[in-house]
Structures are given as C-alpha cells and as structure tokens.
Structure 1
Amino acid sequence: MKTEHVMISVCIAAALATLPSMSLATASNAALAGIDTTEAPRVTQTVDNRVVSALGNTHLSLLDKVPSAGAVADSTPMNHMQLVLQRSAKRSAALNQLIAAQHDPSSSKFHQWVTPSQFGQAFGVSNADISAVTAWLTSQGFKVNGVLPNKMQIDFSGTAGQVRQAFRTQENHYIVNHVNHIANDGDISIPSALHNVVVGVAGLNDFRPQPLHQQPQIAKFDGSTQRFKVQQSAKTANASSGPKPMVSFEGGVRGFAPYDMQTIYNTAPLYVQGLTGKGVNIAVVEDQDMDVSDWPNFVSQFGLGGYGGTFQQFQPQLSPSTGNCTDPGGNDPYSESIETVLDSEYSTAIAPGANIWVATCSDTGSNNFFGGVFTAASNLINGTSRPNIISASYGYGEGFTDAASKAAIDAMWAQADAEGISVFVSSGDSGSNPSFNGSIINGVPAIDANSFGSSVNNTAVGGSDTADVLDGNSSKYFNSTLNPVYGSAKSYVPEITWNQSCGNTRAAKDLIGGSALQFCKNAMIYDPYGYYVTSESGSGGASSVVAKPSWQRIVRGAAKDQSRDLPDVSLFAGSYGGYSWVILCTGASPCAPNFTTPVVLEGGTSLSSPMFAGIQALVDQGLSSAGGSMDQGNAAPTLYELARNEYGGPTGSAPSTLAACNADNGTKGTGKCVFHNITDGGNSTQCIELQGETTPDCYFYGTIQNFEGFYGPTQVGLTSSNATKYNSSTAAYAAKAGWSGANGLGSVNASNLLSAWKSFNGL
C-alpha cells in the first residue's frame, strides 16, 4: 500500500507540473463573453487509496432483492467504461445561465452556440483535476483510452478484477425477468481526494434499454379492400413477441404512408414553399445497422425522390479516437435492425429534403449503460461534424438506471443543447413505466420515467392514436382508395392517447359505454388466462431524479409536482387493437409498386420521435430562410412558450383557444392552432403481481388463471397513483385539457408551428 501510495503521488505531481494552477475559460465565442468560470483545481489532497469514500447510488438498488447468480470472473474484460466527472457548483450555475440565455430572444446570447472544446474549457472539469483522476486510473492498471472534449467523461478499459480492486465492488451475475445480466453488487468507493470531481462509473452493469417499437408485422396488400392482411410477426433483432392483438380485423388493417403523416400534421404546405428540411442534418442514433438499400427503396416507393434528401450510415468517431465505436453489423436484409429502418425512413417521411445520418455503434464495443446508442450520440455531440437534430428511440426507466449513467445521459443532452442541437427522445411504449416494451409491468413501481428522456435538455415524444376507428367515422377523414403515393388521409384526424390495453378509456366508452375499470373486468370473462393482457401504450411519468424546469410550469395543466414530467409532445404511434400502422420498406420485405409483395407494418413511440425530428428540420430550414439560426437547441422551452399562448397559463381564466384547439374538434376550429390538445384517453395500462413480487402503483381488480401456462393464478390490475383506489383522478395518466402525462402538449400543425416559432424568434 505504501508503494502504491507513493506511485500515485508521483504521477499526480508530474501531471500537475505541466499544467497552470488555474483553469480559464478563454474561448472567444460570444456565448461565453462575460461568463466567468475561472476556478482553482478541486483535487487538493494527496490521492491515497487507504482513505476512500463511497459514492451513493452507484449500483442498481433493485438488485438488492435479487440473489446473485455468481461472481464475474476477474479476467472478464470491461471495455470503454466511462468515468463520469462532476463539474463544480459554479460551473453548473454558469452552464444553466447560458442555456437559459441561449433560448431567450431578448438575450444577447440568444442562439449563440458553443463548440465541444469551448464547452469543455468553460464547463468541464479542470485539466489539473482530470490529470489527477487519470493518473489514479492508470495506477490501478486501467487503460485510459481518452478524455472527451467535454471534459466530463474519461473513457477507460480494464477487467472485472481491476474494477473490484480499484472501486471496491464486485461484478456479479444476476437473472432479472429471465434475462442474464452483470452488475456491481454495491456502491463504488474511490479515494476521498477525488470525491468532489467524480460522480461514478457508467458501464458497471449491462441493463440496456430496448428500442421503443411495436412488434413488427409482415402483411400482404389486398387491392380489393385497400387494406393489408397480416401474415405473421416479423422476425427481427430486438423485437419481443408481445401480446396478442385484442381485436381481429377480418377485412385487414390500415397501413399509413408518408403522405398520411404529412397530411395529418400539415407538413405538405411547407414543401410547396420549398421547406423540405434541405440543408438540415438529422442523426438517428442506433446500436445496429440497417440494409442501406432500404432507404432509396422507401424514397422511390412513396414519391420522395424529388426533394433531394440524402442518406449515410456510419460509425461516429472521436478525434483522437478512443476506439469506442465499432461497426455493430446488420447491413443486410436478414440481420438489420427494424428500429434503425423505422427511424431513418420516417424522419425522411416528414423532412424529405433533409440529410439523414444513421449513426451506429456496437453494444459490445463499450461497457456503458446505454451501449452503442449512448456512444453514438456522445461521439456526435463531441465530434467535429455535428448534426442539427438527434433522434433517440430507446429507453429504460429511471428505476433501472444507476446514478452515474443517469448523470452521463443528462450531461450529454445538456452539452447538445448548449451546442444548438435539438434532441428528441421517445417516451416509451409501456404506459406509465417504459421498461416493459413487449411485456407487462411487474415487480417494480408501475410509475417511472424514461431515464434517457427525462433530462431538461431534450424533448420527449409520446404516442397518440387516431380516434376515427373507435368512433366509426373513418370515411370522414380517409378516402376509400389510395392515391398514387399510397395515401388516403384527407385532413387532420382527431387523436387520443395510444393505448392498446383495456385501460383505454376511449375504447371503454365507445365499446361498452362504461369505464376502463369495468372494461377490464368484463374482459376477464372472455379472457380468463390473460392472453390479451398488455402494458402497450405511449409512456409518460414523473422523474424521480430530475427537478421540474421552469419552462414546464408555465402552461395550463402542468403537473403540480417538483419533477421533470414526460412527455412534452406526442405524434401517432399506434392504434387500439392494432388496426393502424405505418409501412416500412425493409431488406427482407422490400416495397414493390402497388405492394405486390409483402411489407412490414410498424409503430411505437420509436415512430413518434423521428417524425418530430423531421418536423423540427422543417422548422429549422424555415427559420434559417427567414434570417434566423438553423440550430435551435432543445425545442421544449419554445414549445411550452407557444403552448401557453393557446392553452393559457397555470392559473387564471382559460382562453377560448384552449377549447378551440381540442383534438376532438378535428378540422373544425383547429385549423389555426399550433397544437392539437389531446384530451381523451390515457396511458394507464395493465400490470401484474407475478409470483408474489410486489408491484407498487398497481390497482388490482382480479386474478388471471394459470397465466402464460406456467405461472399459476396471477393478480392483474391497472397502473394507478393509488393502489387502493382507481378512478379518473388516480389513473396513471389521464389525458386532459392543457398539458397531461398522457400526451404532453399534444400533437402539432407543422405549418402553424413554424409561423408561431418565427414570431417568437422575432423573425
């Protein structure tokens, strides 16, 4: 120990000797003018491994009740972990001040964005402190692969044995929901001298989120009915089996084309003005490739080729490279990712002139919590060529996310915001807890928020459904035959919350004339074994980690809590009973003229996020054409300001536009609205108590017999803020006037959004 102590001290002394005693923010960018982030190094004591401090919440507390399945072998590689650094209170305050000013049209710093190096110099950890930390990592036998330009992350590699020795925590095997995982068994400890500059290590567990799409369906078009007949579920990477559809549509199901989304959300008039997203770079971040022949096939099939959009698939690297992003593979018809296909094609569907960047990194190339998706996003944000917009269609609940990983996610999106990058994240596909896509909420609190989307520096996109099918008035909004580009929508269509469970209040009202609770109880008569039990729905919820930003308090309906609440907005994601989908062109099921061959039908909030990214691209080009900035940073603060104009503030009388902009009005009265306020439905879905594991926030209304054939009797319920009472006030979450936890501010009319945004920016 004495020898090790001396070696660490020598390494640090050598590092400090090459650095100035003060770290200065000297960037010339106008954004940083007048912002003083000068500070002395915070590592002021000798780094001594005999004097350590624990870092709280640096392991997954949910594993405290899960028995270990054995220790991970010491020789197991732990590659590209991220040591997450902690900026000082002074620099945190300065960063928050800057970002607020960057979004304030009255500020001299409005839309004055920074570069990654400027960000790191002004808001990262000082060079001296970084040298102290890297010297300690090296002394523990780790390989330091590099320090990111943001000076908030150190990429390093080692083994499970080195992790055990250095951080005083054991990597173990665990089995959770029948899946094998590795994770550290307790909070980590580090030398006390480093305590003030280190949050923790991202990469000590592999609880990675799944893409937020529905189980894709392969379907054959029937020209006589103008509908698709579902043949089978597509076999694809990252797709779960999911529940059985609750309703059988004998005449076939509906496949939406880009034309339909363009019509419903009113992007088509912008194309006539030359606003197609041209010149805007939209990056979709992924952990698996797609067949690169899909995108040109999609563009050709749906008549999007004349808008000049481009496509490229690549692995974003840092300079100098840390080697953290490797090609995940899948650039072929049979192992490609449906998620990647969906993201790239439907960002193009809305912004057909934009440049689509498919940025992919392998999960196996890194050991951070969000794997390749996190790596791809982080490398883009810290790179020399940065996109204007990022869409991330992945997620996991905060309850499945350790503190260091959450800190890294939030810091990444804050950096993107300060650089002017607009980030959109899918809110989730399993109601009030986004961790159960394709399965049923159980064993953990039924109310949670997507940790990837609960930052205050990104915009979370939830899921809506068109109401015409349940209302029985589809002919009012859709033509009976498809047009030359396979669309049929006539106009905006009233929307409700996307919810495929019996918790769907609109379905309950239309189908039995009763409440969702009664609808669920009735369903048990016909479904005693729970074949149709599902949590599939657009997600929303309150963060248990992130405080509510000031801009989320300003609109009518804002939750009276202290939490960052999701979602912010919503777009189409799916339909009750699985009747409406969007059409994909994949490698295994390419699109042919008149759909003479089978295609893939898809949905989920993985659709909503890239579509909103496409809308933002149209807004960006429109603002740039009017003399404004092409970059807008986080869209949410502006969206809430614009919504306040229509919905009113949190107190006082409601303006007439609150009622006029109700989505239930359809085209009548909403033509001048920026937002379609979705006030019907909700994302309270089914939850279960499996094998005696408690599921908080679940109101149990009955028992399923022999669930899934081998679980025996299982309690089933609906997600609720009160486990002993279920009504419209406790259901998690009901749609309502203004903002709601079901659909946020609702969906948008893209043309009106651009006009309002121009006015807000003074253009």
Structure 2
Amino acid sequence: MKTEHVMIGVSIAAALATLPSIVLASASNAALDGLNTAEAPRVTQTVDNRVVSALGNTHLSLLDQMKPTGSVADSTPMNHMQLVLQRSSLRASALESLIAAQHNPASSKFHKWVTPAEFGATFGVADSDIAAATSWLVSQGFTVHGVYPNKMQIDFSGTAGQVRQAFRTQESRYTVNKVSHIANSGDISVPAALRSVVVGVAGLNDFRPQPLHKQPQVAQFNASTQRFKIQQSSAAAAKKPNPFAVPFTGGVRGFVPYDMNVIYNTSALYSAGLTGSGITIAVVEDLGMDNSDWPNFVSQFNLGSYGGTFLQFQPQLSPSTGNCTDPGGEDPFSESIETVLDSEWSTAMAPGANIWVATCNDAGSTNFFGGVFTAADNLINSTSRPNIISASYGYGEGFTDSASKFAIDLMWAQADAEGISVFVSTGDSGSNPSFNGSIINGVPAIDANSFATSPNDTGVGGTDTADVLDGTTSKYFSSTLNSVYGSALSYVPEITWNTSCGNTRAAKDLVNLTALKFCKTALIYDPNGDYVTSESGSGGPSSVDIKPSWQRIVRGAAKDQSRDLPDVSLFGGSYGGYSWVILCTGFYPCTTNFTSPVELVAGTSLSSPMFAGIQALIDQGLSNAGLSPNQGNAAPTLYELARSEYGGPTGSAPASLAKCDSDNGTKGTSKCVFYNITDGGNSTQCIQIVAFAQTTPDCYFYGTIQNFEGFYGPTQVGLTSSDATKYNSTTAAFAARPGWSFANGLGSVNANNLLSAWKKFVNAP
C-alpha cells in the first residue's frame, strides 16, 4: 500500500445523483467474482415521519437505574453524529463468506483484498436507500455532511431539539462515577419506511472510553543501582506501606526496546533484515504528541539506522465533512501520554516501519469513540491506507449503545476485507475493562472491551514477567545495562499481569496462600482499603458478538457462544509496580545515560502497539517472499498456528502443549511459536458501596471496608467471580489455563518462530 497521506471521500451529491434500481457487485476484483449481492432497494414506501418504528436497545440500558440530573437544552449542538445503516442479510452473508475465503490459503480469493469503493458497492446499502435516508435527515433540519465510501454511514449534525423531534428521544444529563455525561434517555424511533435500513444513531451519548494505560510515573535513574527511583507525590508518600508489596530494593526497572526485542525474539528478525521496512502502522488517537518525542526515542535507543519514519496528521474525508479537526497536543504541556506510548513502542518492535499518528478531536464529534473512532474510520475509508492499525482505547460493552457497537464492528470488518490488520488493547481492569484507574462497581463485574470484541480484530491482553516473584531475575537479566540500556538475556517466564491480591502467583510466592486468603489477610493490615484495585490485564466474553469459527478450533477454547478476549498477550505491567517501560516525552525527554528524569508507563496500551510492531515484521517477511504485505485480521491465522502447538478442543493434548508452557522459560521452548501462560489470572477486586444501593453482580464479597475513599458507611469488597456465591480456581474470573484462556488468550509469541510458522501456513517459499 502507498504510504503517503491522501484526502478521500464520497460527496453527498454523488450519492443522491446515483439512484439505480438494482446494485451490482464490481467485476474488476477477482475477490468479488461469484458473490451474489445484487438486490433491489429496500425502502419502497413513502418516508412518513408520522408513521414510526422504535429501534430497540438504542439507549444505554445501564442508565435505566439512574435518575437524570436534568435535560439537555434543545439548542445544544449535536455534532457529527452518524446514521448507521444495515446491509441486507444477503450481503451480510456474502461479506462473511468473502472474509473467510480471504484468510484461507486454499481459496482462489486468498489475500484478494477490496477497496473502500468496492466494499461500498458490494456490501453497502443501495444508493436509492441512502438517498431516502439522507432526504429524511435534511427534511428534519439536520445538516448532512457526507456519506462514507462504505455506504453504511451518513455523517450529520444538528441540535438536541432536532434529535428529540426527529428520533423521539430526550437528551438528558447523568452523573456516572462522579463524571457528568449526556445520553438519550430512551430508545429512538425512525420512520417505518426506513426501518429495514437503519440500525440507529452513533453519537447520542458521550460515554467515551479512556486510554488503557497505567498512570505514568516520573522517575530518575540511579547509575549505581542501575534502577529508577520513582518521584512519589505527597499523597502517595503519605500512604502506609503496602504490607504485601514485592520486597525489592534499589528502585524499579525500566524496560527499553532491546529488552522486548530479546524477550519476544524480534532481534533474530532484525538480523535477517526484517525491521518492518515498507510497512505502515497507524496508531489512532484523540490527542496529539510533541513531534520531537519520536526522534528522541529513536536516537536514545539507537534505532535510527533501521530507517523508520514518523507522520502525525488528521485523516480527512473529502469533500470535507469537518469531522476530524486537530485535537492539539503537539507540545510538551498538553500532549497525550497514550499517543507517545503507541507511537514509540510500535517503533520499538518494528524500527523500520512507517508510523502514522492519526488524530481527531473528541470535541468535533459526539460519537461514542469520538476522535479515536473517527480517525480509524476515516483511515479505513481512504484511498491510501495503512497495513496495520493499533487502537489502545476501550470501554465495556455495558457502556456502549447498540448503534455505536454496530458501527465499531462494521469498521473492523471493512478493515479486514481491505487487508488491514487491527490490534486492540483488551483493557487494564481485569474482567471488566471499564474501570481503568478505578475499581469495578455498580455493574456486572464480567464484561469485555466493545472496541475489541469484533470477530475482525485481534485483542491483545497483558502479561507480567515472573522473575521478580520467583526470585530468578539474575537468571534472565544482566545486573548491568548495555550500551542501549537493555539487560534482558533471553525469554522470561510470564504470568498474567495483575496488581491486585487476586494474583494467585503473588499470593503463593509471597505468603504461600490462596488468592482469597491473601485478600482476606491483606484486609486486616489494610482496613481502609488503600490498596484495593482492579488493575490487571483484561479478558472476558462478549455479550454482543458471537464466537467466530476460528476461535473454536484450539485447546482450551471457552465452551460458550461468545467472541472471547483476549486473543494473545504481551508484557503489560507488573505486580508491585516493579517493571515498566520507558517513554521519551516532551516534558521529560530522554538524555544520554538518563541524566534527567523520564516517564515510566505500563498497561495493555503497551501490548497492542507492540504486537502491531511484530505484525509489521511478519508482513515484511511475507512481502519479501513474494506474497501480499497485508494479512487482514491476524487472529484466524494465529489460532490455526496455535492449534498445531496446543492441539484441538478435543482429544489428547500434544506434547508441545506442556513443552511450550511459559513456566519453562528457555528450557525446551526454542521452537515454540507461542508461550502458553498457565499461571496467574485476571480476577481482581470489586466493590459494592452499600449507601449507593447499586449491586455489583459477578463479585464474590469476602469483607467490608469502612468509609472507603470518603464514602460514609460500609463498602463491601470482593473478587470477580463467575459465581457470586463461591470463589475458587474454577469460578475466579479468570484463571490462566493450558491452551487458550480468558486470562491471556493464546499467550505471548516468539516472533522469529511465528514468521516461520506463518510462512509455512500460507505456503510461502
């Protein structure tokens, strides 16, 4: 694919002018040959606003338990909403069939990707139906900005009053977790004539997810200890020491690119000339970064010789809809740490790749995912597209309305059909990803990141290195840093990243207790709940998307009907806050020998761009072998390769399942594609504040905290569990297990072995 930025789009005038009675698939692409997608328009009656049909589940059901704090004034602008359209069942089936064939090496359509225009013509809504929907929006006083090339989304703006009149729903204000939000208080209605082609409206609420990283820490390097000393805030320093903290001294560890290159064996690919050269990774963001950060990172860690490039821009539709405005942040004082993390650590794994930082302003849109959604959507509908997208944002499906969820899944399916590999962080708060930086409460404790549960993306969870808890650091890391500040000697055994007392490995290694007893004992020494946390790599079942066939084929696959997360995992953070990665930011730039402070960060926001970087190496390796540099969704291939190593869902386990256990470290694992993480889990703490009268399902309560975080009265504290009446290794949500698990998916990877296995699977020379 080309790597230059090109303005793209389809004008509304063109959509209105082309009104064929039958829409045919394009015959120019062999991928579309034989697909039966011809259909007559579905809007066949007069669009009458007096005859309406309600669209179920088009408001956030969690708000039904809450009382609005007020109504939104009719004059309030509602900018860049999207009328999300529904393709016919015929076209939905054809798209699913095509994507399956595009991932099947035995198919004549293998790696025959489509363009946005081909996608729209073949799988979108008929032009006459789009014209009918557009005309109705205009008749209601809305400003229509454009139709996406996929012919599934109409961008429009108006006011809350126009929304109330046209869609028969009131925009109201709610306070959730001490934050004020707006949302439609009831389901919407549309003219009955449009019912068959309209899913709903994305942009009627502003419950936007947060970046999935741990709060960054400023730290100063100590040359004598070869460690970093975190500069604690006065509030943190005032806390009593955690009685069950990891007993380390001399500061904390800051990982650099060299460490991850050694641990996941990307360094072997660099030696073979595979650095991601010619491959473009786009990280999608809602705030920019200081343009000097990336070159500083590349220089500090000696990555400049690999030839990677950096471009920060706003992906636009053309003619311009105005839905992607500059969010700012390109200075040290206002930049986004998330954006810095994504750009630098995708480069850390693929130093020769082209990095696109695509940013759009949240303020320009009321869409659920705001600028992040718009940036990704505009890129996917471009004539110049990246090979890979990494998105490190998330919120649970329980906080996502049906139209927004449909739009997200539509977006990733289009990316897959176009050959774009999408990686999404699964979350940083255990079995419910909606509580990054806070504690699971007031909603079911089991949920999944709505941005990652599409069957057309790859969800990436978080791991922790086991050496600190095991006391084996000297076996896997040098005591002194090398010339690029690295110390890793080899692959390091991994466990699930989990900072709570629900960490079974920490409970065993530190005090030889079960997690439940560990938590109960901790409560004795921590009666105020200062160290209660839900911080952990996330995983769980979707309540919306069904399980794709490729997720059923591997040992350990959950016996449910849900799309389950994660698919794979990489380092995300550590128990006790000992291990982090280093960022070079505008306010804290990296200097030679770290003579000045740096920022340390962790989270699955790190895991996703790192896996995107590994995918770039795979893409270049396949391209060098004469195959397409685009792989589409990586997950179907990853599961096929894992089946060879772990075995299928039934029958005897192959010897390689035990051989590739992460606990083996380097012993016998040199030929493994995956490191199967079988220890630990992401069951974390959850609470129920009695005074609020809000229940927290899926939480096993083991104790009570008085006056927790300023709330008067008792707060129940528990651990996330699939059975709230008991807690053990079977009900804990969720324990790591052999094969696939909700804790870490298929586990982490050896990048060099992954490429070899991938090439064999696709019959590459």
Q: Decide: shared fold, TM above 0.5.
A: yes
Query: 1:613 aligns to what?
Result: 612
CA distance in 2, matches of 1:477, 1:82: 51
> 1:86 is aligned with what amino acid?
Q
Query: 2:89 aligns to what?
Result: 89
Moved more, 409-418 or 19-28: 19-28
- Cα deviation, 1:78-106, whole Å, max 9, x if unaligned, reads 00001000000000000000000000000
The structural deviation recorded for 1:321 is: 1.7
The structural deviation recorded for 1:243 is: 13
After TM superposition, list the pairs within 5 Å mapping 1:158-557 onto structure 2: 158-232=158-232, 247=245, 249-557=248-556
Contact 1:277 1:353 in 2 (8 A): yes
Query: 1:4 aligns to what?
Result: none
CA distance in 1, matches of 2:570, 2:547: 23
TM-score (ref. length: structure 1): 0.96
> 1:378 is aligned with what amino acid?
D
Query: 1:3 aligns to what?
Result: none
- Cα deviation, 1:250-287, whole Å, max 9, x if unaligned, reads 41000000000000000001001110000000000000
The structural deviation recorded for 1:710 is: 3.2
> 2:559 is aligned with what amino acid?
K
The structural deviation recorded for 1:234 is: 13
The structural deviation recorded for 1:24 is: 1.4
- Cα deviation, 1:89-125, whole Å, max 9, x if unaligned, reads 0000000000000000000000000000000000000
The structural deviation recorded for 1:45 is: 0.7
The structural deviation recorded for 1:244 is: 9.1
> 1:30 is aligned with what amino acid?
A
Contact 1:218 1:234 in 2 (8 A): no
CA distance in 2, matches of 1:292, 1:209: 25
Contact 2:568 2:746 in 1 (8 A): yes
Query: 2:738 aligns to what?
Result: 737
Contact 2:433 2:447 in 1 (8 A): yes
Identity %: 79
Contact 2:705 2:714 in 1 (8 A): yes
Whether 1:694 and 2:692 are equivalent positions in the alignment is no
CA distance in 2, matches of 1:705, 1:359: 46
The structural deviation recorded for 1:624 is: 0.5
- Indicate the SS of the match to 1:158: strand
Query: 2:6 aligns to what?
Result: none
CA distance in 1, matches of 2:391, 2:746: 20
Contact 2:15 2:147 in 1 (8 A): no
Contact 1:15 1:132 in 2 (8 A): no
CA distance 1:244–1:211, shift in 2 (3 Å): farther
- Indicate the SS of the match to 1:95: helix
- Indicate the SS of the match to 1:693: coil
CA distance 1:715–1:243, shift in 2 (3 Å): farther
CA distance 1:233–1:665, shift in 2 (3 Å): farther
CA distance 1:617–1:761, shift in 2 (3 Å): same
Query: 1:667 aligns to what?
Result: 666
The structural deviation recorded for 1:708 is: 1.2
CA distance in 2, matches of 1:255, 1:615: 21
> 2:93 is aligned with what amino acid?
A
CA distance 1:561–1:130, shift in 2 (3 Å): same
Contact 1:254 1:579 in 2 (8 A): yes
Query: 1:238 aligns to what?
Result: none
> 1:749 is aligned with what amino acid?
N
CA distance in 1, matches of 2:239, 2:77: 34
CA distance in 1, matches of 2:515, 2:580: 24
After TM superposition, list the pairs within 5 Å mapping 1:559-598 onto structure 2: 559-598=558-597
- Cα deviation, 1:207-260, whole Å, max 9, x if unaligned, reads 00000000000000000100000003699xxxxx99997637441000000000
Query: 2:720 aligns to what?
Result: 719
- Cα deviation, 1:36-65, whole Å, max 9, x if unaligned, reads 211000001111111100001100000001
The structural deviation recorded for 1:15 is: 9.0
CA distance in 1, matches of 2:234, 2:351: 27
CA distance in 2, matches of 1:571, 1:710: 37
Query: 2:109 aligns to what?
Result: 109
Contact 2:37 2:123 in 1 (8 A): yes
- Cα deviation, 1:152-194, whole Å, max 9, x if unaligned, reads 1000000000000000000001001100000000000000000
Contact 1:215 1:233 in 2 (8 A): no
Aligned length: 746
> 2:578 is aligned with what amino acid?
Y
After TM superposition, list the pairs within 5 Å mapping 1:8-23 onto structure 2: 19-23=19-23
Query: 1:7 aligns to what?
Result: none
CA distance in 1, matches of 2:240, 2:588: 23
Query: 2:752 aligns to what?
Result: 751
The structural deviation recorded for 1:711 is: 3.4
The structural deviation recorded for 1:712 is: 2.6
CA RMSD of superposed structures (Å): 1.6
> 2:185 is aligned with what amino acid?
D
- Indicate the SS of the match to 1:412: helix
- Indicate the SS of the match to 1:255: strand
CA distance 1:316–1:242, shift in 2 (3 Å): farther
CA distance 1:331–1:17, shift in 2 (3 Å): closer
- Indicate the SS of the match to 1:232: coil
Contact 1:477 1:493 in 2 (8 A): yes
CA distance in 2, matches of 1:244, 1:384: 55
CA distance in 2, matches of 1:234, 1:385: 49
CA distance in 2, matches of 1:225, 1:177: 41
> 1:132 is aligned with what amino acid?
A
The structural deviation recorded for 1:384 is: 1.4
> 1:547 is aligned with what amino acid?
I
- Indicate the SS of the match to 2:220: strand
| Structure 2 gap segments, 5+ residues each | 1-11
CA distance 1:483–1:72, shift in 2 (3 Å): same
The structural deviation recorded for 1:34 is: 1.2
The structural deviation recorded for 1:20 is: 1.9
The structural deviation recorded for 1:709 is: 3.0
Contact 1:493 1:666 in 2 (8 A): yes
The structural deviation recorded for 1:705 is: 1.9
CA distance in 1, matches of 2:442, 2:436: 15
> 2:140 is aligned with what amino acid?
Q
> 2:701 is aligned with what amino acid?
F
CA distance in 2, matches of 1:267, 1:280: 16
Query: 1:600 aligns to what?
Result: 599
TM-score (ref. length: structure 2): 0.96
The structural deviation recorded for 1:17 is: 8.5
The structural deviation recorded for 1:540 is: 0.1
Contact 1:542 1:564 in 2 (8 A): yes
CA distance 1:478–1:16, shift in 2 (3 Å): closer
Contact 1:234 1:600 in 2 (8 A): no
The structural deviation recorded for 1:580 is: 0.1
- Cα deviation, 1:447-503, whole Å, max 9, x if unaligned, reads 000000000000000000000000001000000000000000000000000000000
Query: 1:681 aligns to what?
Result: 680
Query: 2:34 aligns to what?
Result: 34
CA distance in 1, matches of 2:130, 2:585: 46
CA distance in 1, matches of 2:117, 2:241: 50
Runs of 4+ in 1 over 3 A off after TM superposition: 14-18, 232-235, 241-246
CA distance in 2, matches of 1:430, 1:16: 46
CA distance in 2, matches of 1:165, 1:250: 64
Query: 1:5 aligns to what?
Result: none
After TM superposition, list the pairs within 5 Å mapping 1:48-59 onto structure 2: 48-59=48-59
CA distance in 2, matches of 1:297, 1:411: 37
CA distance in 2, matches of 1:176, 1:15: 40
